[in-house]
Amino acid sequence: MSLRPGFERRIRKIVGGEHVQDSPEDMICYGYDATSETGIPDLVVHPGSRDEVVSIVKEAAAGKIPLVPRGAGTGLSGGALANRGGIVLHFDRMNSILGLDVENQKAVVQPGVINGDFKDAVAHHGLFYPPDPGSTRVCTLGGNIAENAGGAYGSRYGVTGDYVLGLEAVLATGEVLRTGSTARRDVAGYDLTRLLVGSEGTLAVITEATLRLIQAPRARSAAFFSFSDFSDALAAVRAIGAEGLEAAALEIMDRTTLECLDRYLPGRLPVSAAVLLVELHGSSDDCVAGMLDQAVAAATSNGGETVKTAQNESCEDFWEWRRAVSPSLGQVAASKIGEDICVPVGNIGLMHEMITAISKRYDLRIAVFGHVGDGNLHPNILTDRRDPTAMMRTEEAISELFRAAVELGGTISGEHGIGITKSAYMSMMRDPVSLGMMAAIKKVFDPEGILNPGKILQ
C-alpha cells in the first residue's frame, strides 16, 4: 500500500527522523521473521515512549494504515510480518526495566526488554522469571506477552500469561488502557490482562507490563537420558512424575532430531530413538542430587541410559545443546516448517505414531522435539519451498498433523500462536460460536481493523 502524502513527515516529527526507516533495503530486512513467510512494510518506526506510540496510532487510525508491532521477529507464526503493508512498530528503543520490587517480587518493564536480559537482571536479586522460550537470548517480553510464549520450564512453572499482573496498552483509538493491578490477586471485573496476553498485536499495542517473579531455586541438577524406544522415554516421563519430582523441564528429541543435531554438534548426544533432558530444581545441592538419583532410577528402570548429568551452572551447557536443535534442522534441509501442536500428555505416544505415519505417507522427514512435560511437540517438516510438489505434500501433511492433534484432544498451537501461518486452520480448532465471539471482540477493540490485520482471524 502507498502511504498518504504528509503521513511520513508527521511520523518523523513524532519520533525524530533518525527513528524512521523507509528505504527498500530496510523494508526487506523487516519483511521476515522466523517463519519463511514474508511481508514487506512501507515504513518502520522505532518509538521511544508510550506517548509517541499514542501519536503514531492516532495518525495510523486517521489514515486507516495497518500497524504491526514487532519485538525481535523470532515469531514462528508470521505475527510480526506486515503482510498487508503499513507500519512496523519496532520496540528496540523501549527496552528498559522501569522498576524492580524485590520485596513484592515484581517488575515493571517496557516491551522491548530481551527475555534473557530480564532473567539475568532479576537473578542478581535472587529472583526468577520462569518463561523461557528457546529464543530467550533474543526475543522480547512484548513479543512473549503477545504470543503467550511458553518454553522449557512450562511444565512446572507455567507460561508467560501466568506471570503478567497487569499491562499498559495503546488502543486503536490512541486511548491508553491499563489492565490488572500490582497485587497478586485481582478479580475486579473481566480479566482484560488475560485477553491481551496472546492477542498477537491484534487488539492493542503493549507499552508496559508488570510481571510477577518468584524466588530463584537455590540449586539445579539435570540429566540427558537416551532410549532405544520412543515409548520408553514417555514411560520414563510418567515414572519421574510418579516419583513426585515435579521436574522443572522435561524435553524430548526423537531420532530424526538427534540425527540433525549430531551433524551440527557431532558426538554430543547419542543418535537413538529418543533423548530426554530433565532438569530438577530444589532448595540445596544435596536436595537436587537426591532428586537426580531418583530421576536416574526412574529413567533406567524404563530402559533409559544416563548420557550425562550436571549440577548448577554446568546445566547451562545442556541447554546450549538443546537450543542448537533449531539451527541444526535448518542446516540439513532447504526449508523447515516448524509446527507447534499440544496434546494431553497421555496422548503423546499416539501423536508421535501418527506423525511417523504422516511422515511416511507424504514422504517427508519430520523431526519431533518439544516440551514433553506439557504435551507440547514441535514436529518440524524438513522440506524445500522451491519444490512445488514437495510443498503440496507438506501442506497436506500439516493439515493431517493438525487434524490428528485436534482429534486427540489437543490444539494446533501450544505456544507459537496463530499469526498468518495457522489462521486458515482456526475453524478446525474453534467452533463458529467461538470464532464469532473472537471476531466481535476484535471489532470492539479495533473497529477499523488497523491493528495487525489478517492475523489470527483471516
Ligand X SMILES: Cc1cc2nc3c(=O)[nH]c(=O)nc-3n(C[C@H](O)[C@H](O)[C@H](O)COP(=O)(O)OP(=O)(O)OC[C@H]3O[C@@H](n4cnc5c(N)ncnc54)[C@H](O)[C@@H]3O)c2cc1C
- Distance CA(84)–CA(90), nearest Å, equals 17
> Smallest distance, Å, CB 5 to ligand X?
27
H helix or E strand, kind and range, residue 58: helix 50-63
> Smallest distance, Å, CB 294 to ligand X?
26
86 belongs to the binding site for ligand X (CB under 6 A)? no
193 belongs to the binding site for ligand X (CB under 6 A)? no
CB 76 within 8 A of CB 37: no
142 belongs to the binding site for ligand X (CB under 6 A)? yes
- Binding residues for ligand X restricted to 29-68, rule: CB under 6 A: 33-34, 68
> Smallest distance, Å, CB 91 to ligand X?
5
Minimum CB distance to ligand X smaller for 79 or for 282: 79
> Smallest distance, Å, CB 217 to ligand X?
19
Q: Taking the CB of residue 93, how many other CB atoms lie within 10 A of it?
A: 15
- Distance CA(108)–CA(409), nearest Å, equals 37
| Choices 16-24, 129-137, 249-257, 422-430 (CB under 6 A): range interacting with ligand X | 129-137
Minimum CB distance to ligand X smaller for 73 or for 85: 73
**Coil, helix or strand at residue 67:** strand
* E strand intervals along 10-152: 20-21, 43-45, 67-70, 87-90, 97-101, 106-109, 127-128
CA 429 to each of CA 285, 408, 412, 422, 425: distance values in angstroms, whole numbers, following the listed order: 44, 12, 7, 10, 7
CB 172 within 8 A of CB 204: yes
> Smallest distance, Å, CB 288 to ligand X?
23
| Choices 1-9, 139-147, 176-184, 249-257 (CB under 6 A): range interacting with ligand X | 139-147
> Smallest distance, Å, CB 316 to ligand X?
16
| Choices 101-109, 137-145, 349-357, 389-397 (CB under 6 A): range interacting with ligand X | 137-145
Q: Please, is 218 exposed, middle or buried when counting C-beta atoms within 10 Å of its C-beta (0-12, 13-18, 19+)?
A: middle
416 belongs to the binding site for ligand X (CB under 6 A)? yes
Grid cell digits, residue 429: 480448532
72 belongs to the binding site for ligand X (CB under 6 A)? yes
157 belongs to the binding site for ligand X (CB under 6 A)? no
Minimum CB distance to ligand X smaller for 70 or for 156: 70
370 belongs to the binding site for ligand X (CB under 6 A)? no
- Distance CA(212)–CA(184), nearest Å, equals 8
- Distance CA(342)–CA(402), nearest Å, equals 10
CB 131 within 8 A of CB 153: yes
74 belongs to the binding site for ligand X (CB under 6 A)? yes
156 belongs to the binding site for ligand X (CB under 6 A)? no
Minimum CB distance to ligand X smaller for 422 or for 455: 455
Largest Cα–Cα separation, the chain: 71
Minimum CB distance to ligand X smaller for 304 or for 453: 453
- Binding residues for ligand X restricted to 315-354, rule: CB under 6 A: 326
453 belongs to the binding site for ligand X (CB under 6 A)? no
Minimum CB distance to ligand X smaller for 110 or for 302: 110
**Coil, helix or strand at residue 142:** helix
Binding site for ligand X (CB under 6 A): 33-34, 68-76, 79-80, 91, 111, 133-135, 139-140, 142-144, 146-147, 149-151, 200-201, 205-206, 326, 415-416, 452, 455
